[in-house]
Amino acid sequence: MPEYRRVTSVGSDRVTAVRGLHSRQGRRKAARFLVEGPQAVGSALAAGVPIHDVFVEGDAGGSLSDLIRQADGLGIRVTTVTSPVMRAMAETESPQGILAVCPLLPEGDLDALMAASGGPVLVLEALSDPGNVGTAIRTADALGAIGVVLTPESADVHNGKVVRSTAGSLFHLPVLSGRAVPDIVQAAHAGGRRVAVLTGDGDVELFAAARDGLLGDRTVWLVGSEAHGVSDEARRTADACVRIPLRGRAESLNAAIAAVVALSVTAYAAARDSQ
């Protein structure tokens, strides 16, 4: 491996700057966020994200060598660090040997997203748990959604746990943050889409909606938090309130799992209708 810059002191200014990205305020001030682990860093590189720095623990042989060569070939600054330095910079207790510093994701165009074709859109309303937000983004990517929109009350999409939970999907599809429900619904309708909210007391059952042709690639699914569900405003402005039938004794589903079910049924309905 070529000779790279090396940081050995946990008191280094560069280490301090990276640690500042652990907080939302620090990320906003620096306009940067952390990406940890080979999978996430590899996804960022593959997506062409303009990475500022890559930090690698030790000699970084084995599977990390390819990522280092990619970063080096793109002119990204690569720095090797000691194990104590990597632990000081990383948010996880057991770092995987590599992390990158990336610019905050672009804000994106809500109207353009809703007007685009090719799949449904997932909206997360006040979903504050970072792990659930990340899992929902990963689910949307896996099941053919063309984008995810978060309301202002949702977890910061640049939060380390969100980033790790997406397993790289954060760089595969547009993720728009800080959009209010009325703006989302207005953009959806202008783009020829129907908005369906998931709620336990919805007047339309999910599988009936699929059977009756109410779901498809133009559906915008709005999922609320486990604690409070969807807002009254979302209910009023949506085109349909849909419930997932529960056969067992559980009273509700985790929000990310509810998104899995809704998007899976939507994908099935869209595939059926295209035949």
At 57-96, the pLDDT tens digits run 986 556 788 999 999 999 999 999 999 999 999 999 889 9
Same domain, 144 and 28: no
Confidence class for position 238, pLDDT limits 50, 70, 90: very high
Regarding pTM above 0.85, the answer is yes
Same domain, 220 and 89: no
Q: What is the CATH number of the domain that holds 10?
A: 3.30.1330.30
Task: Give the pLDDT confidence score for residue 269 in this predicted structure.
Answer: 84
The conformation of residue 36, written as its DSSP 8-state character, comes to: E
Asked if 229 contacts 270 with a C-beta cutoff of 8 angstroms, the reply is: no
Dihedral, CA of residue 223, residue 22, residue 63 and residue 4, to nearest 10: 150
Same domain, 89 and 160: no
Percent of the chain with pLDDT over 90: 80
Q: What is the CATH number of the domain that holds 142?
A: 3.40.1280.10
Same domain, 197 and 114: yes
Same domain, 158 and 183: yes
List the domain range (segments joined by +) for residue 247: 110-274
Listed residues 103, 122, 143: the one ending a domain: 103
Total residues found in the chain within this entry: 275
* Element of type H or E holding 241: strand 240-243
Same domain, 88 and 171: no
Same domain, 37 and 130: no
Confidence class for position 2, pLDDT limits 50, 70, 90: low
Q: What total number of domains does the chain contain?
A: 2
Same domain, 144 and 73: no
Task: Give the pLDDT confidence of 112-130 residue by residue, as tens digits.
Answer: 999 999 999 999 999 999 9
Task: Give the pLDDT confidence of 161-175 residue by residue, as tens digits.
Answer: 999 999 999 998 999
Burial call 220-247: b when 16+ CB within 10 Å, e when fewer: bbbbbbbeebbbeebbebbbebbbbeee
Based on DSSP, count helices (H) and strands (E) in the chain, helices before strands: 12, 12
Listed residues 103, 133, 155: the one ending a domain: 103
Same domain, 66 and 141: no
DSSP, collapsed to helix, strand or coil, labels residue 201 as coil
Task: Give DSSP secondary structure letters for 131-189.
Answer: HHHHHHHHHHHHTT-SEEEE-TTSPPTTSHHHHHHTTTGGGTS-EE-S--HHHHHHHHH
Task: Give the pLDDT confidence score for residue 45 in this predicted structure.
Answer: 95
Same domain, 91 and 146: no
- Bin 157: left if φ > 0, else alpha if -120 < ψ < 50, else beta: alpha
| Residue given tokens 């619904």 in the structure block | 185
- Bin 244: left if φ > 0, else alpha if -120 < ψ < 50, else beta: beta
Listed residues 57, 77, 103: the one ending a domain: 103
With 70 as the cut, is the pLDDT of residue 229 above it?
yes
Same domain, 88 and 134: no
CA distance 57 to 230: 44
Same domain, 44 and 115: no
- C-alpha 96: how far from chain center: 20
